[in-house]
Amino acid sequence: MAKEIERKFAVSDPGIIAGRMGALIVQGYIADEPMTVRVRIMNAEAFMTLKCRTNGIERDEYEFPIPMHHARELLDKYCRGRVIEKTRYRIPHSGQVFEVDEFGGKLMGLMIAEVELDKAEQAIELPDWIGVELTHDCRFSNSALSLLEQAPEAR
């Protein structure tokens, strides 16, 4: 069983992505119960991901590559407007990689950084461009963001 262990933060300095190359991601949500079912296209690859509910900062996650035409069909037919667009930048810092997502479309202006951990209690050194922690704020899950008409304010 695969585990996802991550912490999530607002980005306080959007200039951190200046001059960096990012990967375009389009992802949509088919279901939230009993698991979140997500379809993602990232560059030229497509995936189906199943995620259980979070327990602290951990959750079970299963991800499978799928054919691109299946991903496009699922996004068009079954995500019912629950689609988000973002560009992901991978920024190394103190031996870890922060994934910074710059959202587009209806969530334009929102930037969130995530860091994947090996264990829940793992210490991390936060870069100076990191803002408030959003890990336990359910408004900032990608699934919740897909339902919004505009980006929430990170406080």
Spell out the domain ranges in the chain.
3-145
Q: Is the pTM of this model over 0.85?
A: yes
Structure tokens, 152: 């929430």
pLDDT digits (tens, 9 = 90+) for 91-114: 999 999 999 999 999 999 999 999
- For residues 100 and 102, what is the distance between their CA atoms, to the nearest angstrom? 7
- For residues 96 and 87, what is the distance between their CA atoms, to the nearest angstrom? 19
CATH architecture of 3-145: Beta Barrel (2.40)
pLDDT digits (tens, 9 = 90+) for 49-97: 999 988 889 999 999 999 999 999 999 999 988 999 999 999 999 999 9
Residue 68 parent element (H or E): helix 68-78
Residues catalogued as catalytic = 29
